[in-house]
Structure 1
Amino acid sequence: MTDDFSGLGLSSKVTDAVVSAGYTKPTDIQAKAIPHVLEKKDIIGIAQTGTGKTASFVLPMLTRLETGRARARMPRTLILEPTRELAAQVHENFEKYGKNHRLSVALLIGGVSFEDQNRILDRGADVLIATPGRMLDQFERGRILLNGVEILVIDEADRMLDMGFVPDIERICGLLPPRRQTLFFSATMPPEIEKLTKRFLRDPIKIEVARQNSTAETITQKLVRVGSRPEEKRAALRDQIRAAENLTNAIIFCNRKRDVATLARSLQRHGFSAGALHGDMDQKSRTETLDAFKANKLTLLVASDVAARGLDIPAVSHVFNFDVPVHAEDYIHRIGRTGRAGRSGAAFTLVAPADGKHLDAILRLIQRDVPWVESTAPHAPVQEQAAEESPGSSRRKQGEARKTAKTAKTTNTVKTTEKAEPRRKQQTDREPESFGIDENSPFGADGPVPAFLLREVSRTR
């Protein structure tokens, strides 16, 4: 393997940008993939998170794009990413390593104005970075023509599978020129993804820089036994955060979006610097939260799996799995947020009694034992449980209290009515007032006399 980037065949513009960014030695995936990309070979790259995979296709693409120019609405290259955060991360890589180039890069993601995107596309984009749904939306609007794409990159393919994007990818591949170069990257290789590579890649070169489904050796992994109640898990998490050694910042993962906001508020109430990141947030809020975390204005980032592969922050010291991930592969991606670029990291996973099945699947996948750590957090007292409740649960309890009060009021009314019933019965048993109408009258003895019967009838001849 070459000792520096100058021996990989990259242009001087690219190598100068890499050196100025502070990198001198390529990673395994970069050293193995870059020469093949420059030779226009199709590639299957299997590499875990944090191995420098993004630069392994960005750097050779920059070199390839130095010749030729883009035409209006006809991008020369297309990079598909499963999330907005990942797409934005790749865009940042092109800005960083392409500073010596004058290339046009378009970013098609949700939460960004169509007008801004169309302006770049109309001028001609050398590089189009997009999420599948947004890309197809623009294609159907007639804003993009795909017959000029020379290089297709499908990044984080297994994540695409998890998010249900495979049908979109199949459709996009069908719209592209058959004679193109395809670069396919994934951390794992499920059978469905392998079928995809056989359909759309031509004689690909397979590059695997680490054992498939492995976790980085630089990450210290621990399991923490916790109770099943949410307040017990939150107390155990706070205990682990306070006890963590050399914690500078941390990402805390939840399985459900609604739990992300609840946990972030809980940590804030207990004096922690915490923010939330999940898929229901608008793009502006997500960007502001990420920027605050990157700038160390936030110590803890509570996130759903939307952030598992979308953050390019090399110095994350800790990862906490508040929930055991349902999909075993997500465990690899989550803890891969720490221990990046040769740094050491720590990952703690909170395991409740009901999590045994998912934990067994993770241990089978990573093929290693993970030691247990007993939580010293006591059961949350009654006062703390009340403080821990989310606004939604408080509103529910208030609603239940109002319902109980209403029920009690109704019960009292019923009892009062029952007591008053005999008196009413006595009133009913009285003789009806006589209106001078026979009881056999069709109007009934108790009924009022119709007004038209009481009017004097005038006789006319």
Structure 2
Amino acid sequence: MTKFTELGLDPKVVQAVTEAGYETPTPIQAGAIPAALQGQDVLGIAQTGTGKTASFVLPMITLLAKGRARARMPRSLVLCPTRELAAQVAENFDTYTKHLKLTKALLIGGVSFKEQDQLIDRGVDVLIATPGRLLDHFERGKLLLTGVQIMVVDEADRMLDMGFIPDIERIFSLTPFTRQTLFFSATMAPEIERITNTFLSNPKKVEVARQATASETIAQEVIELKASRRDTAAAMKREALRATIEREGEACKNAIVFCNRKTDVDIVAKSLKKYGYDAAPIHGDLEQSQRTRTLDLFREGGLRFLVASDVAARGLDVPAVSHVFQFDVPTHSEDYVHRIGRTGRAGRSGKAIMFATPAEGKYLDAIEKLLERTIPRAEGQAMVSEDSAPDAPAEASDDAPKPRRTRGGRGRSRKADAEGQGSEQAPAAAPTPAPAEAEAMPETAAEPAPEAKTADAPAPRSEDKPRRGQRQDNRRNDRDAVVGMGDHLPSFIALSLDERRAG
């Protein structure tokens, strides 16, 4: 079995590697390091968690051990797609150069330009950067790339997928043609073959696993959820996530929860915290200082659940992640491999659970086609319905009475008020018969004597001029329909229409 002492590395580098606890290189390291030490371009393809970072850091610092950097002219350049991955490469550099006098600078967003300029002005052997910040320094006249001897593109496919092709091409044009180029990635899609053919010269291709494969130490699972309405799917997933965490129990020591959208990252993190789970979000819209603190807390074991966008899917090395939950099915099938690769690292076992709705079926099919296997469905899972989802909007029952609309905008109509008031004021009164029924009534139900009627409603004196309100009341009383009532039930209301006209 090959050991690091047999790869041709600098003895001081081997000493640092041994002190870090490593003796045997991984397959990608065993294949890439000798070729890189010979000055060849390398195209390394390996699944996540196989040690690609050391595959270029170790030969790079061995080649740079002799020589000296000049101001504003770094001797090597490492490009990373995200700030977190760039910071991790910088940590690896510090670990393996502890016995060498090599300098580095980390150029990422969210950090003061002044501090980075000071490092560049003194001269650095290794420059680790994201493309955007690197070009910012170059355009400000603070950086020259004509002294780059070794150039590394880490997570090359991700760099290209994220829209960095114009920036990458420009950066390559600023470096010497005689540079040595190293490409490392977990996947290598056919559409970027042209780019690699342009950037690399007769590269040594090191592929230790079939493209887009997941580690065998990761147990994969899909929980399918059925929602009749799209607006309840997210609430169902949040409930299913909590139920799954409880199902896993103590085996779920810590986990990363991946979401497709930044807004969902915040919502899921708040939901977990609301139900008593120790969770925090991380995505590209947060301040770099907050992202760094959250990651450090998660690495140190002070945070149990890290809810993240794909900013944490690539290259982040947290060895002891027990679970990966995919709240959403990734729209790009390659991202599935990167996400689940956050667990089961360095030979450890891990578990990856994904929640899928029928609307995400086409993405799930693409993932299984890429993996060339069917992801097992959870057996005996409790199917979550939208009715039990706590965040789902409640639907009105079909049996529930519906509010009555009125022209006046009030809760009840005038007629309803009158009926209610009449039933309270005169509960013993007979109900009003329909006109046809009133005509069929016997003559004994005739109108009371005129004097009784006069006594109930005395006519106003002729010398008194009726008021405006009284005139309106009189006009209402002349109508056929009963519009309103007073404090009592008038006797004429029980009469038929013809009898009232005759009277």
Q: For this structure pair, what is the TM-score category when the shorter chain's length is used for normalisation?
A: 0.7 to 0.9
Aligned pair in 2 of structure 1 residues 162, 19: CA closer, same or farther (>3 Å)? same
Match of 1:232 in 2: 236
The normalised TM-score by structure 1 is: 0.83
> 1:141-152 residue pairs with structure 2 within 5 A?
141-152=140-151
Residue type matched to 1:343 in 2?
A: R
CA contact (8 A) 2:108 2:129 kept: yes
Match of 1:434 in 2: none
> 1:395-434 residue pairs with structure 2 within 5 A?
none
> 1:154-303 residue pairs with structure 2 within 5 A?
154-228=153-227, 229-244=233-248, 246-303=251-308
- Give me the whole-angstrom Cα distance separating, in 2, the residues matched to 1:207 and 1:346: 28
Structure 1 segments unaligned to the other structure (5+ residues): 390-407, 416-422, 424-461
Of 151-160 and 221-230, more deviation after overlay is shown by 221-230
> 1:27-46 residue pairs with structure 2 within 5 A?
27-46=26-45
- Give me the whole-angstrom Cα distance separating, in 1, the residues matched to 2:381 and 2:258: 18
> 1:67-86 residue pairs with structure 2 within 5 A?
67-86=66-85
Match of 1:375 in 2: 381
The one of 390, 396, 400 aligned to 1:384:
390
Residue type matched to 1:83 in 2?
A: T
- Give me the whole-angstrom Cα distance separating, in 2, the residues matched to 1:287 and 1:309: 15
- Give me the whole-angstrom Cα distance separating, in 1, the residues matched to 2:214 and 2:336: 9
CA contact (8 A) 1:235 1:380 kept: no
CA contact (8 A) 1:225 1:375 kept: no
How much has 1:385 moved relative to structure 2?
Answer: 2.1
Aligned pair in 2 of structure 1 residues 179, 293: CA closer, same or farther (>3 Å)? same
Residue type matched to 1:197 in 2?
A: T
Per-residue CA deviations over 1:82-128 (Å, capped at 9, x if unaligned) read: 00000000000001111111211000000111111000000001000
Larger radius of gyration: 2
Q: Work out whether 1:362 is the aligned partner of 2:361.
A: no
Match of 2:312 in 1: 307
How much has 1:189 moved relative to structure 2?
Answer: 1.1
- Give me the whole-angstrom Cα distance separating, in 1, the residues matched to 2:165 and 2:173: 12
Aligned pair in 2 of structure 1 residues 201, 378: CA closer, same or farther (>3 Å)? closer
- Give me the whole-angstrom Cα distance separating, in 2, the residues matched to 1:75 and 1:8: 26
> 1:78-157 residue pairs with structure 2 within 5 A?
78-157=77-156
Of 201-210 and 374-383, more deviation after overlay is shown by 374-383
How much has 1:410 moved relative to structure 2?
Answer: 10
- Give me the whole-angstrom Cα distance separating, in 1, the residues matched to 2:389 and 2:309: 28
CA contact (8 A) 2:74 2:123 kept: yes
Secondary structure in structure 2 of the residue aligned to 1:286: helix
CA contact (8 A) 1:320 1:349 kept: yes
Q: Work out whether 1:320 is the aligned partner of 2:325.
A: yes
Match of 1:398 in 2: none
Secondary structure in structure 2 of the residue aligned to 1:369: coil
Residue type matched to 2:341 in 1?
A: G
Per-residue CA deviations over 1:156-204 (Å, capped at 9, x if unaligned) read: 0111122101111011111110001000111111123211111111110
Secondary structure in structure 2 of the residue aligned to 1:153: strand
- Give me the whole-angstrom Cα distance separating, in 2, the residues matched to 1:310 and 1:210: 17
- Give me the whole-angstrom Cα distance separating, in 1, the residues matched to 2:63 and 2:234: 53
- Give me the whole-angstrom Cα distance separating, in 2, the residues matched to 1:124 and 1:378: 59
How much has 1:314 moved relative to structure 2?
Answer: 1.1
Secondary structure in structure 2 of the residue aligned to 1:332: helix
Structure 2 segments unaligned to the other structure (5+ residues): 228-232, 395-405, 414-467, 469-503
Residue type matched to 1:110 in 2?
A: G
- Give me the whole-angstrom Cα distance separating, in 1, the residues matched to 2:337 and 2:25: 23
CA contact (8 A) 2:106 2:128 kept: yes
Secondary structure in structure 2 of the residue aligned to 1:244: helix
CA contact (8 A) 2:260 2:309 kept: yes
Secondary structure in structure 2 of the residue aligned to 1:91: helix
Per-residue CA deviations over 1:131-173 (Å, capped at 9, x if unaligned) read: 1111111111111100000000011011112210111101111
How much has 1:378 moved relative to structure 2?
Answer: 4.2
CA contact (8 A) 1:72 1:124 kept: yes
How much has 1:207 moved relative to structure 2?
Answer: 0.3
| Identity in percent | 60
Match of 1:401 in 2: none
How much has 1:298 moved relative to structure 2?
Answer: 0.8
Aligned pair in 2 of structure 1 residues 95, 296: CA closer, same or farther (>3 Å)? same
- Give me the whole-angstrom Cα distance separating, in 1, the residues matched to 2:407 and 2:316: 55
Match of 1:433 in 2: none
Residue type matched to 2:243 in 1?
A: D
> 1:41-56 residue pairs with structure 2 within 5 A?
41-56=40-55
Residue type matched to 1:250 in 2?
A: A
Residue type matched to 2:283 in 1?
A: H
Aligned residues between the structures: 399
Q: Work out whether 1:348 is the aligned partner of 2:347.
A: no
Residue type matched to 1:28 in 2?
A: P
How much has 1:225 moved relative to structure 2?
Answer: 1.0
Residue type matched to 1:240 in 2?
A: T
Residue type matched to 1:375 in 2?
A: Q
- Give me the whole-angstrom Cα distance separating, in 2, the residues matched to 1:237 and 1:125: 46
Of 221-230 and 163-172, more deviation after overlay is shown by 221-230
Residue type matched to 1:203 in 2?
A: N
Q: Runs of 4 or more off by more than 4 Å in structure 1?
A: 380-383, 408-412
Residue type matched to 1:275 in 2?
A: A
Per-residue CA deviations over 1:232-277 (Å, capped at 9, x if unaligned) read: 1111111111112621111010000000010001001111111111
Per-residue CA deviations over 1:299-322 (Å, capped at 9, x if unaligned) read: 111000011014211111110100
- Give me the whole-angstrom Cα distance separating, in 1, the residues matched to 2:24 and 2:95: 17
- Give me the whole-angstrom Cα distance separating, in 1, the residues matched to 2:190 and 2:159: 13
Residue type matched to 1:116 in 2?
A: E
- Give me the whole-angstrom Cα distance separating, in 2, the residues matched to 1:28 and 1:129: 25
Secondary structure in structure 2 of the residue aligned to 1:385: coil
- Give me the whole-angstrom Cα distance separating, in 1, the residues matched to 2:342 and 2:389: 35
